[in-house]
Chain A
């Protein structure tokens, strides 16, 4: 009897399934740890063109991943990698990274630009980039302590039209000069 059941189980793949049943589906940490090779341990990036994900808002991460997957947001590797995951995976990754503490970067910034950016940010960006960019309204990303080169690359994509700017952002950005925008990015990069 035993042998017969085993043969039947092998033939139908029941054994293989039951072997796998011992492993839980990938946890948020399992999913997120795989990202850390490029984005740093727990999402604290050491590479200036790679954004830190630590302490990023969950809705911002989920939205970014969905837009990478659909192709709406321009990308190099991220559009391809996002295709390997489900919306539920994005939720789990967003949850994981949003709970990590802010990764404070040490980068060379211009003091005069920081001061100028500080004077511009509240009236121009503050409605969505809340608390000096430490928080974000809805799916607005956290900007505090983010890498300046990363933000500059994103702003260049916005300006060239490669990446679509949210309407409210476009209204605010349009009247600002290139020097104003640069100052704002220095300011956000400086927030700790």
Chain B
């Protein structure tokens, strides 16, 4: 890792102005947070991937100490946050988990801190609270935005044109903007080029926002500006649902890549030319692996995502570091919460095997992902995944990768239990 002097001093809690360079030799490096005695795995990120990796390692081998580092004291699920935007949930409480029970039930040490660097050679993680040594490291940091690809985007843009693609304050802000919008106003949803977190997510969002507008903002429209040439996931089902419920509300426009924004005039520009104005603008920028993956040099030649071994999820760039979830290149598995859950278990199984000098096990993983079209109808996509031994990539098992035949009320009921179970898995 590289830190400039200012960041370094900030990291170790020394004011640059007051003490200056004289303090540097004394501090040398940040203090060790928890000295390591036995075998230890450090997990970065307390989301869909990290919580499960931490839990399953402890379930499989109690002799391995597991430290889970997360910057927040809670986690808000992105899956189902579109239902909140549509008004089907009054707050984000049903989507929020804490770590206390997970920590107590499995003896996981949870550290609330910001990770600032990884030293693969020294096998050490630097956090805002000190350093942590590891034998193996699991990196599950989710996504970061490629905001540099949008002209006019700066640090304050998300306060005006929220992405709401990381659930929490951004989701609440977007909901408030929708509530405050005048009837007849237009909502823009700008979808980036794939791959991005949750392929059907933007289209579910269009459905949920349209549902809200239909009930509460007569005359309003959702203008979907999709950078992709077509709907990325569950296309037939979304089109069917939109025709059934939101025909005059959703205006879907393919191959419309937003490259520039005009925050003052609440407008976006497509390929720098065509201007589209909105009263509410949900600007979802293109994505890449979480920030720490870039800092630690885990990102591949595409400068976006992390190449990994498809059986162990060990980084192809740094030994003893495993990358799971949205940040990883997991072949045919989509960047979804369920994928992260399933990848975490495969990774945990093989980390335990490797740390005990045992044989690793082939991946068998699942993705199941629901999208709501209306208050009572949902659709799903499923897939069972295995590794193609020759190509060494994760592929879907033929027949298992498929979508619902139609909109379904039963699927909406099952989806609720999906959420309950997956969040319970992560938090207990």
Q: Which residues of A contact B (CB under 8 A)?
A: 13, 16-17, 19-20, 22-27, 29-31, 33-41, 45-50, 76-77, 80-85, 89, 149, 153
Contacts and interface: CB of A to CB of B under 8 A. Distances in A.
Interface in B343-376: 345-346, 349, 359-366, 368
A37 B417 CA distance: 10
A5 B376 CA distance: 62
Interface string B374-416: 0000001011111101111000111111101000101101101
Contact of A46 (B342, B385, B411, B420): B420
B171 interface: no
Nearest to A45: B421
Interface bracket on B:
35 or more
B425 interface: yes
Give the top 4 A-B pairs by smallest Cβ distance, nearest first: A84-B384, A47-B417, A84-B400, A83-B399
B359 A23 contact: yes
12 contacts: A16-B389, A22-B360, A23-B359, A30-B349, A34-B366, A38-B368, A47-B419, A80-B382, A84-B366, A84-B384, A85-B400, A149-B413
Given A20-B389, A49-B413, A84-B400, A40 B424 contact: yes
B99 to A, nearest CB: 16
Contacts of B421: 36-40, 45-47, 50
A76 B410 contact: yes
Contacts of B420: 46-48, 50
Contacts of A81: 366, 368, 382, 384, 400
Contacts of B364: 26, 30-31, 34, 89
Nearest to B425: A41
Given A26-B361, A40-B421, 18 more contacts: A17-B389, A23-B311, A24-B359, A24-B362, A30-B362, A33-B56, A34-B365, A36-B425, A37-B341, A37-B425, A38-B422, A41-B428, A46-B421, A76-B408, A77-B368, A77-B380, A80-B402, A84-B384
A33 B349 contact: yes
Contacts of A39: 421
Nearest to B341: A37
Interface string B79-114: 000000000000000000000000000000000000
A146 B360 CA distance: 35
A106 to B, nearest CB: 13
A104 B339 CA distance: 28
A84 B380 contact: no
Nearest to B427: A46
B338 A37 contact: yes
A22 B366 CA distance: 22
